[in-house]
Amino acid sequence: MITFLELLVNGISVGAVYALIALGFVIIFKATEVVNFAHASLLLVGGFVIARLHPLIGFWAALLLGIAGAAVVGALIEFLIIRRANVISHSVLAIVTIGVDIVLTTELTRQIGTDVLALGDPWRDRVLHLGGVSIAETRIVALAVAAVLISAFLLAFKYTNWGIAMRATAEDTETAALMGVRRGRISMGAWAVAGALAAVAALFLCVFPTPGLDRSTTFAAMKAFPAAILGGLDSTTGALAGGLIIGVTEAMMSGYQNDLVFLGRGIGDVAPFLVMIVVLLIRPAGLFGTRELARV
Amino acid sequence: MDVHAPRPPGDSGLVVRDLAVSYGPVLALRGVSLDVPRGSVVAVLGGNGAGKSTLLRAVSGTLRFHRGGITAGEVTFGGKRLSGATTSAVVAGGVVQVPEGRRIFARMTVEENLRAGALGAPGRRSAAKAKERVLTLFPVLAERAGQRAGLLSGGEQQMLAIGRALMARPRMLLLDEPTLGLAPMMASRIADTVREINAGGTTVLLVEQNAAMALSLASHAYVLEVGEVVLSGPAAELATSDEVRRRYLGIEDAPEAAAGARPVLARWST
């Protein structure tokens, strides 16, 4: 029971971090209809900036610069590539983002080399004991930060002019333009916000109990893809649900690995993708993907 | 409706001069010129594919969404050039379009749709005033404020589309087939509203297939056919012209007239 609780809390915490990544993925898709395969590299940019700068300027300043850095790189990808690529199909742009991802990831992994970079976070490896349940402080902080960021984002999405403009553009780009919405600004903003969220996620993917930022961090980030897709690519709610489902599944599968030996080792890493496939078989648009609600 | 005398040269509302538009190799408009003097209602008539919507896209700067572009001529409003400007600049300049088929944001609430309409013309206080005006014009929108726009009836959606455009406080409103698909009662309700909006000082360019309605509203009208202006004049005059009566009002003056008509006209015989 105690193991179960520990796994559950850890799963939810990791799931919340996946949700941050998936949320960025979803808003880029909503604003520009591009499936952004470069998302993992945005995350790597954020993590790398934090890792390199924290010995020089302290953790908090490094964190801010990491967030800003990933946001700027996201905005630049939009401004320099997505906006200029005058292609007919959005799937072509998706393939372009694969190219961007390869370039960024290759360069960053070259910089990182075989090192494992610490991010210098103040929580280190402290563990909180509640009754018999032991949970790393980093997991608690991750959960709290993700909850705050996600709520702030959803409130902004619902109530601010930015949110209205985003949703209008997502629903009907041409008509949104007729309202005076500037599409370029909206899509650049979406990429920047997605980059910033990814940088925060990078922090929590690399802190204890993970050893730190290394070349395998992108693989961890990849698990947010199934989260976004099983939730429904165009649904913010779906990103949250998907993130949590993937996080908890992964934690449970890894935690009870010994009871699931017949499935082979490392099932935790595969589980997110299995869950995604099962969900898509039953609901092709994802859990919360768009079903038209309109009267003709 | 009084008939405007030939437009006074200094009073420039919307002026379209020798406009040509193409979608890739396809020429959609050729040498189109028209004037919408400030404060007037002008109608553009024509069948499907005549280029009516293309004309409005050229004014609003949304041709690029359809892979089209202006190849010649220009559009100005109040002396300022609109052709080549971005859509947001056109909106900020006071020219706002209500697109064909209403195109309301179905997944957003009525209230949010109205807010979206105000995005192009920021300013909290004036937005509140604009909203007040819209809700007086269309009280039903206030009743349905929290409802998803996709669940409104067709007529209510058209009201929302017009209300949304008014949120930007336009000096000029472009209406693309506002009565399309509406019941006759609702269509005449929309016509009354257009009259009311115009009485408030907003210039209106009305694109319609419903010629009877359009000619009753407009002071001046143009007939567009395969991308060219083939007829123009005061609305009252056009309403009595044989050609318009036959083609757009469905009135046969003499039974033989139909037999002599060119075969292309079959498209408009509904």
> Which of B115, B148, B168 shows the shortest C-beta gap to A180?
B168
Q: Does B254 touch chain A (CB under 8 A)?
A: no
Please answer whether residues B47 and B208 qualify as being in contact, where contact means their C-beta atoms are separated by less than 8 angstroms: no
CA dihedral B170, B174, B177, B178 (to 10 degrees): 10
B51 DSSP β-pair partners: none
Per-residue confidence (pLDDT) for residue A287, from 0 to 100 = 87
Closest CA to B96 of B214, B201, B217, B202: B202
Q: Which long-range contacts (CB under 8 A, 24 or more apart) does A276-279 make?
A: A276/A226, A276/A229, A276/A230, A276/A246, A279/A230
Closest approach of chain A CAs to the CA of B19, in angstroms?
21
What are the respective helix, strand and coil percentages of chain B, to the nearest 5?
40, 25, 35
Is it the case that residue A85 has pLDDT exceeding 90? no
Query: Testing the interface with B: which of A179, A235, A291, A295 to mutate, by most B Cβ within 10 A?
Result: A179
Residue A207: how many other CB atoms lie within 10 Å: 25
Closest CA to B107 of A194, A241, A235: A235
pLDDT tens string A199-221? 999 999 998 888 889 888 888 88
Domains contained in chain B, CATH given? 11-94+170-252+266-270 (3.40.50.300), 103-169 (no CATH)
One pLDDT digit (tens) per residue for chain B, 270 residues: 444 444 444 457 999 999 999 999 999 999 999 999 999 999 999 888 899 999 999 999 999 889 899 999 999 999 899 988 999 999 999 999 999 999 999 999 999 999 999 998 877 778 889 999 999 999 999 999 999 999 999 999 999 999 999 999 999 999 999 999 899 999 999 999 999 999 999 999 999 988 888 999 999 999 999 999 998 999 988 888 877 777 777 766 555 444 444 444 444 544
A173–B116 C-beta distance less than 8 A: no
Of residues A2 and A174, more confidence is placed in: A174
pLDDT tens string A99-145? 999 999 999 999 988 888 888 888 888 888 888 888 899 999 999 99
- Local confidence band at A34 (pLDDT 50, 70, 90 cut-offs): confident
Per-residue confidence (pLDDT) for residue A292, from 0 to 100 = 42
A294–B62 C-beta distance less than 8 A: no
Helix (H, G, I), strand (E, B) or coil at B204: strand
Per-residue confidence (pLDDT) for residue B11, from 0 to 100 = 58
Three-class secondary structure assignment of A167-235: HHHHHCHHHHHHCCCCHHHHHHHHHHHHHHHHHHHHHHHHCCCCCCECCCHHHHHHCHHHHHHHHCCCC
Closest approach of chain A CAs to the CA of B27, in angstroms?
20
A177–B119 C-beta distance less than 8 A: no
Per-residue confidence (pLDDT) for residue B4, from 0 to 100 = 45
B150–A177 C-beta distance less than 8 A: no
Q: Tokens for B14, please give them.
A: 């919307």
Residues in chain B closer than 8 A to A171 (CB atoms): 105-108
Per-residue confidence (pLDDT) for residue A84, from 0 to 100 = 81
Per-residue confidence (pLDDT) for residue B155, from 0 to 100 = 92
Widest distance between CA atoms in chain A: 61
Query: For B199-215, b where at least 16 C-beta lie within 10 A, e where not — what string?
Result: eeebbbbbbbbbbebbb
Per-residue confidence (pLDDT) for residue A291, from 0 to 100 = 52
H-helix segments, chain B: 52-60, 87-92, 110-117, 124-137, 139-143, 154-166, 184-199, 211-217, 235-240, 242-248, 255-260
Its ipTM equals 0.85
Question: What residues contact residue B214 under an 8 Å CB cut-off, 6+ apart?
Answer: B43, B45, B206, B208, B221, B235
Chain A residue with the nearest C-alpha to that of B94: A180
pLDDT tens string A232-291? 888 889 999 999 999 999 888 888 877 777 777 777 788 888 888 998 888 888 888 875
Q: Tokens for B145, please give them.
A: 């404020």
In the predicted model, what is the mean pLDDT of chain A?
88
